[in-house]
Amino acid sequence: MKKNIVYKILEAHLVEGELKAGEPIAIKIDQTLTQDSTGTMAYLQLESLNIDKVRTKRSVAFVDHNMLQQGFENADDHKFIQTVAAKHGVLFSKPGNGICHQVFLERFSCPGDTLTGSDSHTPTAGGVGMLAMGAGGLDVAVAMAGGAYYINTPKVCKINLVGKLSPMVAAKDIILEVLRKLTVKGGVGRVFEYAGEGVKTLSVPERGTITNMGAELGATTSIFPSDERTLEFFKAQGREDEWMELKPDADAIYDEEITIELDKLAPLAAKPHSPDNVEEIASIGKIKIDQAAIGSCTNSSYEDLMKVAKILKGKKVHPDVSLVIAPGSRQVMEMLARNGALADIISSGARILENSCGPCIGMGQAPGTDGISLRTFNRNFYGRSGTLSAQVYLVSPETAAVSAINGVLTDPREFKEDITVELPEKFLIDDSMILKPQVDGEEVEVVRGPNIKPFPINKELTDSIDGKTLIKVEDNITTDHIMPSNSKLLPFRSNIPYLSKFCFNTVDEEFPDNAEKYNGGFIVAGSNYGQGSSREHAALAPLYLGVKGVIAKSFARIHKANLINNGIVPMVFENEESYNSIDKFDELVIDNVLQGLETGILEVKNVTKNTSFKVKVEVTEREIKILKAGGRLNFAKNS
């Protein structure tokens, strides 16, 4: 008794450790997902673990991030993923079938299961009561090979939803409100468990929007109960046999609790350039817009796009606005096509894109110079749209559609027509674009194009590490800052030597050259270093360039795990003031590293300044072994 949902799932999957907030635990993973941007690397890593078939209940490989085929690279990578999946027992969702999180929610999510995905928005599946966590590709590869997933037992924060949303106020506004309250650092070490009477007013896709953007809080994950509304969704997807009820005990205990009064929420926008820079649309005012983009894994469900179609029906997109719409899956697109809603959307002057991530990751539809873009996506980091001078606002589909008609940012409550959308009794079910793996994988030949290059593997950690401060960066550096993933670079996701030439190039374009010139060294950073995506390229490229350690005020969870997995030592200033004592190119020396890892304290000598300061290495016993071995692959091979 007294158990919340998170602890119920953790307890059922616990392999090692004690469920006590902050304590390291290992859990069994039921399902995994990968997407193409991180998947090539994850499957290369899976191959190096030498297993014939994945040992999960279900593993799915998606292709959704980059479908622009301007050269051979993407097509070759897709073929590699398809064949390696067929060989090793992984389902393959073909390009065009949809965005991983939307398709996963529709076709594979299961209440009570655990999921790791090599994408930071994997928590979307928490919308059905799944414990779904973003992880680095190597952690996902290890889970596919049957290994446990290691996390620190999270604190569980109850988000008590009270009341009901007013018309034209959306699920997106709920999560924007949580971001406004808690900021992009507010979820670190936490799982957000949604509860309260307001839960049953939200459909599964609405819940998925909320759990999806829990990633922007830096949370381990977010989760909803699995209830009658969840059952309705599973019935409509023809999967009621995979549903089970999941709710907290009546006297469940939580570490923290906050309340959101749904009736009091107004339409919100996250202003440039952070998802927590949130303000009411009414107070931002009617700024002129150049683009509206609807879609992404946050807001691309059938329900979202039916509402958009109802708003656009019989109207025209403003002459100065480009409205682009990317449905989240083929299921969504085909249903809109069959019921006529797609015709309403096209007739309004909107542009229809493929069922993929597309503009969310800068793959096409970059705004013009200084362009103002309203996006229903989850991130508005500087430069992510592909245009450095663009101003991106994150909004609900309702706000994006109404504003696209008016040409200015508009409070959607000005639109007075009813756009209620009921859950369809049956979704259109056609899994023919999900390819089953070969029964006898031995027969399958894995196809490797010339773009598939070996990835760097670290060496055993030495007792003394030294080098220059190659770069010094501020707070909230994202994985996009570290390793940009724009349309020109994404095709090289399996080619680390090439990618590393662009490491940090929007922050300090001399970084890769300096790393080479000085034979590696250190990165010095502010707080929340590595926030954003799970992309382990943000650790692999620095590793390739010889980075030995990162000294920061604090780290984002997944990136810290990726550094450890690659044998790069993550260090936290004992006294944050020490950050100010280091300049770029200062020579740093750390002795007695191996013993210091055990005590958790290292002394860093700044040879250039003739000073020293202490840093903490906040890692578990197991992570110490991984660091000493020079990364998780070496550790796995040796143990």
* 297 in contact with ligand F3S (CB under 6 A): yes
Cβ distance to ligand F3S smaller for residue 130 or 165 = 130
- Closest approach, Cβ 532 to ligand F3S, in A, equals 10
Instruction: Return all residues near 494 (Cβ < 8 A) that are at least 6 apart.
Output: 40, 41, 44, 77, 80, 451, 452, 453, 455
Cβ distance to ligand F3S smaller for residue 38 or 494 = 38
- Closest approach, Cβ 122 to ligand F3S, in A, equals 9
Q: Using CA of residue 481, residue 482, residue 488, residue 491, what is the dihedral sign?
A: negative
- Closest approach, Cβ 369 to ligand F3S, in A, equals 23
Cβ distance to ligand F3S smaller for residue 358 or 630 = 358
- Closest approach, Cβ 454 to ligand F3S, in A, equals 26
Q: Is 233 helix (H, G, I), strand (E, B) or coil?
A: helix
Contact 149, 114 (CB under 8 A): yes
- Closest approach, Cβ 357 to ligand F3S, in A, equals 3
- Closest approach, Cβ 158 to ligand F3S, in A, equals 26
Contact characters 468-487, ligand F3S, x per CB under 6 A = --------------------
Residue 633 CA: distances (Å) to CA of 149, 439, 589:
14, 28, 27
The two tokens of residue 489 are 């670079």
* 65 in contact with ligand F3S (CB under 6 A): yes
- Closest approach, Cβ 636 to ligand F3S, in A, equals 27
From 19-27, 94-102, 442-450, 451-459, give the range in contact with ligand F3S by CB under 6 A: 94-102
Residue 395 CA: distances (Å) to CA of 266, 268, 269, 312, 363:
12, 7, 5, 17, 20
**40 vs 46: CA distance, rounded Å:** 10
- Where do the H-state alpha helices sit in 202-253? 204-212, 228-236
Cβ distance to ligand F3S smaller for residue 45 or 296 = 296
* 271 in contact with ligand F3S (CB under 6 A): no
The two tokens of residue 58 are 């279900």
* 119 in contact with ligand F3S (CB under 6 A): yes
Q: What residue ranges in 411-546 does DSSP mark as E strands?
A: 434-435, 465-472, 521-525
- Closest approach, Cβ 296 to ligand F3S, in A, equals 4
Residues 229-258 that bind ligand F3S (CB under 6 A): none
* 74 in contact with ligand F3S (CB under 6 A): no
Pick from 8, 121, 229, 375 the residue near ligand F3S by CB under 6 A: 121
Cβ distance to ligand F3S smaller for residue 125 or 360 = 360
Residues near ligand F3S (CB under 6 A), total = 12
Cβ distance to ligand F3S smaller for residue 128 or 523 = 128
Question: Which residue type does 639 have?
Answer: S
Cβ distance to ligand F3S smaller for residue 121 or 307 = 121
Contact 277, 402 (CB under 8 A): no
- Closest approach, Cβ 550 to ligand F3S, in A, equals 24
Contact characters 325-364, ligand F3S, x per CB under 6 A = --------------------------------x--xx---
- Closest approach, Cβ 497 to ligand F3S, in A, equals 24
Cβ distance to ligand F3S smaller for residue 27 or 556 = 556
The two tokens of residue 201 are 């007013």
- Closest approach, Cβ 353 to ligand F3S, in A, equals 12
**529 vs 524: CA distance, rounded Å:** 10
Pick from 291, 378, 387, 514 the residue near ligand F3S by CB under 6 A: 378
- Closest approach, Cβ 11 to ligand F3S, in A, equals 30
* 556 in contact with ligand F3S (CB under 6 A): no
Question: Which residue type does 469 have?
Answer: T
User: How far is the first Cα of the chain from the last one, in angstroms, to the nearest whole number?
Assistant: 38
From 40-48, 99-107, 443-451, 456-464, give the range in contact with ligand F3S by CB under 6 A: 99-107
- Closest approach, Cβ 378 to ligand F3S, in A, equals 5
Pick from 99, 169, 524, 547 the residue near ligand F3S by CB under 6 A: 99
Question: Which residue type does 503 have?
Answer: C
**505 vs 343: CA distance, rounded Å:** 43
Cβ distance to ligand F3S smaller for residue 44 or 394 = 394
- State the helix-helix crossing angle for 537-544 and 557-565, rounded to 10 degrees: 40
From 98-106, 173-181, 231-239, 423-431, give the range in contact with ligand F3S by CB under 6 A: 98-106
Q: Is 530 helix (H, G, I), strand (E, B) or coil?
A: coil
Pick from 114, 116, 237, 296 the residue near ligand F3S by CB under 6 A: 296
Q: Using CA of residue 69, residue 530, residue 137, residue 505, what is the dihedral sign?
A: positive
The two tokens of residue 611 are 């000073």
The two tokens of residue 189 are 């070490």
Contact 216, 378 (CB under 8 A): yes
- Where do the H-state alpha helices sit in 227-289? 228-236, 281-284
Cis peptide bond N-terminal to 273, omega within 30: yes
Instruction: Return all residues near 426 (Cβ < 8 A) that are at least 6 apart.
Output: 236, 238
**533 vs 120: CA distance, rounded Å:** 5
* 110 in contact with ligand F3S (CB under 6 A): no
From 97-105, 337-345, 487-495, 628-636, give the range in contact with ligand F3S by CB under 6 A: 97-105
The two tokens of residue 546 are 């010889």
The two tokens of residue 567 are 């044998």
- Closest approach, Cβ 237 to ligand F3S, in A, equals 20
Q: Which of 302, 304, 284, 286 is nearest to 294 (CA)?
A: 304
* 375 in contact with ligand F3S (CB under 6 A): no
| Sheet strand arrangement including 256-261 | 221-223, 190-195, 155-162, 256-261
Cβ distance to ligand F3S smaller for residue 25 or 499 = 499
- Closest approach, Cβ 95 to ligand F3S, in A, equals 13
Residues that bind ligand F3S (CB under 6 A): 65, 99-101, 119, 121, 296-297, 357, 360-361, 378
